[in-house]
Chains A and B, each alone.
Chain A
Amino acid sequence: MKIILENICKTFGSVKAVSNLNLEIDDGELISILGPSGCGKSTTLSLIAGLLKPDNGEIYFGDKKVTNIEPEYRGIGMVFQNYALYPHMSVLKNIMFPLKMKKIHKKEANKMAIQMAELTKIEDLLHRKPSELSGGQQQRVAIARALVKKPEILLLDEPLSNLDARLRIEMREEIRRIQQEINITTIFVTHDQEEAMSISDKILLMKDGLYQQYTTPREMYSNPSNKFVARFLGNPPINFIETEIMYNGEVVKLHNSRIILNLSRHLKGKGIKENQVTLGIRPEDFIITNKDEALFSVEVIGIQIMGKEIYIIANIDEGIKVTLVASWDFNIDVGDRLYLDAKNIHIFHRGDVC
């Protein structure tokens, strides 16, 4: 089922939770709504579910306008952050509940629930109470309950945030598997960029109720539309270097420093049109090289060993720090001087807030 949001606005008191949001989700896609807490992602999901009604704008499921339709008539399944299992009902009863509300015959409902339990791999737990299940198992029950009535849209509200790290990875793969098995249009809300990138066809990134960027994870990572997007994706985060243009849109001087960089090789002929820009370089895009090929040199001031790689914190000049990721092959100590080049440089307005 295709979902379209048109100029959606929602305010709570004086807080604009969602402003003027436009979004199109294709049938069978899994998209993530990503952003820091308070960015309006859960509000957007509740608007799509019908738990909240927008102040302005329209929502379409397929060709049908659903803006003012109550959630129970929207044909959606939803999984909540705390799973929201009915604590007094067994797993089977929980899964059967939506069917009971649809007045489906008990035998038939039973069969459908068991089918769903098989899909989510909880067929052995049917007679337990939610309190006797682990977090991951409760999660599976919640998914089974959301899917049992064969909805055309599945909504997931931070479904993994209450699980420990290992289970989180397992469950997100499960969600992807189930989603693809039944090919259901799915919206997944999360604040975890890694989760969003690993699971989704597309990501909508939001901040303070405002649309930031909506595209595939790959595109968003390699072509962030602004400083906020660039900074939100990637760990350790992207390095920002403030600069002023000196010459020809290619030669820049670092802000509050005398260091001058020639970017002609990196910009590949696309000159910078503004006078003040921020350069964005991802830590993994730095290349340790020799003095002749270097863009600039740095002094190592800290080293963090992360396991498969090491993070190096280094000073370009007084007060201008960068972080880079290097492999174990390099034998680096604090105080060393490194010569760096960059595979990829992003250019942003200096005025961007992030």
Chain B
Amino acid sequence: MKRTLQKTLIYMILTVGALFILIPFIWMISTSLKPSNEVLIMPPKFIPSKLIWENYKIALEAAPFNTYFKNSIIVTVSVTAGEIITTILAAFAFSRINFKGRDLIFTILIATMMVPGEVLTIPNFVTLSKLGWIDSYKALIIPWCASIYSIYLLKQHFMSIPDELYNAAKIDGCSDFKFLWTIMVPLAKPAIVTLIILKVISSWNSFFWPLIVTNSKEMRTLPLALSAFTDEFGTEYNVLMAATNIIVLPVIIFYTILQKHIISGVSKAGIKG
């Protein structure tokens, strides 16, 4: 008796928590499908009397979302690919190749993790403007194509692959470079997939950096575009929520498909970090 009561209580608390998390999302979807005359009313209606898909069309036509989508995709894909490649190479060197100054370089790089990214914004902005990269894909992509945190995580993973495998491959006539791609990378696949997923999410959602290095409308990524969009549609909440959903939806789909991977990846990264 006591056990069932306890279980029920636990489920109730968990459900309240889940509702607390979900209500804003439900509220967004509900609002995005409302006719204009049902948006600004008190008490609010959760289920619209009629589903107005029009709102999405208006939102999509009101701003060049095609361009924003394209920008977000180009930036996310390039940043992710770039970071993974530089990370794999560096993690391999730091974990397998015994070269002079290796530990010193690694320590210096690790030490930079202490400094909050915001501190770097100004000099980076100056560097980029000197290079003439402001308001270009280069500015959005290149500075993010390497991450010491990812290198650290992957290095830990590479180090857990036994030395014997490396020796065996050498005896089998395998060069370092081939060993990295035919043995190490396939074996570290779970870790690499985690890094990819985390990078995709953080890059897709990134706000502060694009805000600073882009000026023109043509270079905006989705989160920036949405923020700008609110100026124009500040009171038409149904259209605004439709626009918000357009940006949130791809990530939610991505998340739903890969949630097992994401969650186990995050927990592993957290425990190690």
Q: Do chains A and B touch in the complex (CB under 8 A)?
A: yes
Contact check, A84 vs B170: say whether CB atoms are below 8 A apart. Answer: no
Q: How far is the CA of A81 from the CA of B170 in the complex (A)?
A: 16
Tell me whether B170 and A72 are in contact (CB under 8 A): yes
Chain B interface size range: 10 to 19
In the complex, what residues of A have CB within 8 A of residue B172's CB?
A: 72, 97-98, 101, 145, 149
Q: Which of A97-143 contact B (CB under 8 A)?
A: 97-98, 101-102
Whether, in the assembled complex, B231 has its beta carbon less than 8 Å from a beta carbon of chain A, the answer is no
Q: In the complex, what distance in Å separates the CA atom of A86 from the CA atom of B172? A: 12
Task: Kindly list chain A residues whose C-beta atoms are within 8 Å of the C-beta of B169.
Answer: 86, 97
Interface of chain B residues 157 through 192 with chain A (CB within 8 A) = 162, 164-165, 167-175, 178, 183, 186-187
Per the bound structure, the CA–CA distance linking A145 and B183 in Å amounts to 15
**Among B171, B174, B175, B187, which residue has its beta carbon within 8 angstroms of that of A77?**
B171
CB proximity of A344 to chain B, nearest CB, Å: 43
Cα of A87 to Cα of B164 in the assembled complex, Å? 12
Contact among B165, B170, B178 for A86, CB-based, below 8 A: B165
Is A219 part of the contact surface with B, judged by Cβ < 8 Å?
A: no
**Bound-complex Cα distance A97 to B170 (A):** 11
Shortest A129–chain B CB gap in Å is 12
Q: Which of chain A's residues has its CB closest to B178's CB?
A: A101
Contact, CB under 8 Å: B174 / A101: yes
Interface string of A187-210 (1 = CB under 8 A from B): 000000000000000000000000
Task: Give the contacting residue for B170; candidates A51, A102, A146, A149; CB below 8 A.
Answer: A51
- Partner among A77, A78, A97, A101 whose Cβ is within 8 Å of the Cβ of B167: A78
A168-B183 Cα distance, complex, nearest whole Å: 29
Q: Which residues of B contact A86 (CB under 8 A)?
A: 165, 168-169, 183, 187
* A60 interface residue (CB < 8 Å to B): no
Please report the number of residue pairs spanning A and B whose Cβ atoms sit closer than 8 angstroms.
Answer: 58
User: Which A residue's beta carbon lies closest to that of B172?
Assistant: A98
Q: A86-B165, A88-B187, A101-B178 are in contact. Are A78 and B173 (CB under 8 A)?
A: no
B171, B183, B186, B187: the one within 8 Å of A72 (CB): B171
Task: Say yes or no: A87 contacts B187, CB within 8 Å.
Answer: yes
How long is the Cα–Cα vector from A98 to B169 in the complex, in angstroms? 8
Residue pair B167, A98 in contact (C-beta under 8 Å): no
B178 contacts across to A, CB distance below 8 A? 101
The reply to whether B170 and A98 form a contact with Cβ atoms under 8 Å apart is no
Chain A positions within 8 Å of B162 at CB level: 82, 84
User: A84 near B173 (CB under 8 angstroms)?
Assistant: no
Pairs A–B under 8 Å by Cβ, sample size 19: A51-B167, A51-B170, A70-B170, A71-B167, A71-B170, A72-B175, A76-B171, A78-B168, A80-B164, A81-B164, A82-B162, A84-B164, A84-B165, A84-B168, A98-B172, A101-B173, A101-B178, A145-B172, A146-B171
If A72-B175, A82-B162, A97-B172 are given as contacts, then 13 extra A-B residue pairs at C-beta distance below 8 Å, sorted by A number, are A70-B170, A71-B170, A72-B171, A72-B172, A72-B174, A80-B164, A84-B164, A84-B165, A86-B165, A87-B187, A101-B172, A101-B174, A101-B178
4 closest A-B pairs (Cβ-Cβ)?
A: A84-B168, A101-B173, A98-B172, A84-B164
Binding site for A on B (CB under 8 A): 162, 164-165, 167-175, 178, 183, 186-187
